[in-house]
Amino acid sequence: MSYIMVDIEADGPIPGDYSMVSFGAILVEPSLSKTFYGQLKPISQKWLPEAIQVSGFSRNETLEFDEPSSVMHKFADWVVAATTSHRPMFISDNNGFDWQFINWYFHHFVGKNPFGHSSHNLGSLYKGVAKDMFSTFKHLRKTRHTHNPLDDARGNAEALLQMKEKFGLKIDLV
């Protein structure tokens, strides 16, 4: 299995009514060299100022971003190329949020999701590794959490690699 760490930024709480602003993805392997970054033009007229502010972009800036269909087709091609003959597995810090946007956008713009129907949550995984429902993995990041989704995906991928190295997490990273 090939794990792809994903982080997204959005201008609201749900896809369809609101838009994914940007996302970053990184193949989880020691070099962390295979990455994807996309910025997407809004798909609706609705947006929350406090949500878009987190992304660091203005609404006017997002109106100049790339067409979502083009970005999602490029991302689908990247997922296939990055994972070669292995099944891609989506993983994120908050898969309840990130997955809903990526899944919706893939189905809406590409017609299918190359990740299939499954995803993993990094925070929950760490709680199991630590055997503590109140613990957090965030101290394992090397890259600072900036709300640039590629930075954040990289930091989360670093944390997953640390779980393998420091805690002996049994995970096959291809």
Q: Write down the pLDDT at residue 10.
A: 98
Mean pLDDT by runs of 10 across the 174 residues of the chain is 96 97 97 98 97 95 98 97 91 96 98 96 96 96 96 98 94 82
**Bridge partners of residue 91, in order along the sequence:** 5, 120
Task: Give the strand order in the sheet containing 119-121.
Answer: 35-39, 20-27, 2-10, 88-92, 119-121
SS (HEC) of 60-107: HHHCCCECHHHHHHHHHHHHHHHHCCCCEEEEECCHHHHHHHHHHHHH
DSSP sequence for 111-144: SS-TTTT-EEEHHHHHHHHHT-TT--SGGG-SS-
Q: For the chain, give every domain's residue range.
A: 2-167
Catalytic residue among 73, 108, 117, 147: 147
Q: Write down the pLDDT at residue 172.
A: 84
The fold for domain 2-167 equals Nucleotidyltransferase; domain 5 (3.30.420)
Q: Write down the pLDDT at residue 153.
A: 98
Query: Is 120 an annotated catalytic residue?
Result: no
Task: Give, as one character, the DSSP assignment of residue 27.
Answer: E
**Coil vs helix vs strand at 33:** coil
Q: Write down the pLDDT at residue 51.
A: 95
Q: Write down the pLDDT at residue 84.
A: 83
Residue type, 153: A
